[in-house]
Structure 1
Amino acid sequence: MFGINGGELIVLLVVALVVLGPERLPQYAEQLAQLVKSVRRFAKGAQAQMREELGPEFDDIDWQKLDPRQYDPRRIVRDALSDVWDDEPAPAKKPARPAAGATAASRVNLDKGSSASAAPAAAPYDEDAT
């Protein structure tokens, strides 16, 4: 209920007793009870109105699926992409490119037909830049 455990509820009741005082506490408790009853009455009325307007389709609705706490964007994206991937063939592989940190000399060597498996030279390091 509202994410409050027993200890927190006791602390809230003690604070309410101190702030409101023993004279006004029963009056506010009664008003809170009336508010809860009116909210329940409103919810039942809204449910009855929806059932009346939707007819037999109201019972077919999966209310758990519409619960916002069940919203998981990762699952939604994964499901949407799996539909796309199932419909399209796999793309063809592109030829290998030199690494992003490769020097210009190693790129030239790769372009001239040297072995693509050769390790690129390390990127230059500037001590003053750090």
Structure 2
Amino acid sequence: MFGLGLDQVLVLLVVGFFVLGPERLPHAAASLARAVRRLQRYCADAEARLGTEFGPGLEELRRPLREAADVHATVVSGLPSPARPGSTVLVGRASHDPEAT
């Protein structure tokens, strides 16, 4: 759900416990769960409506978006990660910046 790992969910629960307190935390969690279910239902309904409205043309609309997402993933995977040992992160202005001098 939302790309959160178990450790992140636990941190959110602990923070929620301290912010909301033990009395209001269950109610807040239930409200959040209802909102997420409602959002999922809304998205599924919107996708179904688009499918019926556009029919086969919807795939033609999705294809460029999918290709752009693939290009983005390829570019991002080729970038060095600051967390990766031995990678260099450039900080500061570019050398071709006329205001850098």
Task: Verify same fold: TM over 0.5.
Answer: yes
Compute the displacement of 1:49 (Å): 1.1
TM-score, normalised to structure 1, is: 0.45
Structure-2 residue corresponding to 1:10: 10
Mapped to 2, the partners of 1:69 and 1:55 lie a distance apart of: 22
Structure-1 residue corresponding to 2:25: 25
Mapped to 1, the partners of 2:25 and 2:8 lie a distance apart of: 18
Where 2:65 maps in the other structure, the secondary structure is coil
- The Cα RMSD (Å) is 2.8
Question: 1:30 is matched by which residue type in structure 2?
Answer: A
What CA deviation, in whole Å up to 9, does each residue of 1:35-94 have, x standing for no partner?
A: 111111111111111111112333x4474751464344xx8xxxxxxxxxxxxxxxxxxx
Compute the displacement of 1:20 (Å): 0.7
Compute the displacement of 1:3 (Å): 4.7
Compute the displacement of 1:2 (Å): 4.0
Alignment coverage as a number of residue pairs: 73
Where 1:66 maps in the other structure, the secondary structure is helix
Mapped to 1, the partners of 2:71 and 2:21 lie a distance apart of: 43
Mapped to 2, the partners of 1:11 and 1:5 lie a distance apart of: 10
More helix by share: 2
Q: Percent identity?
A: 38
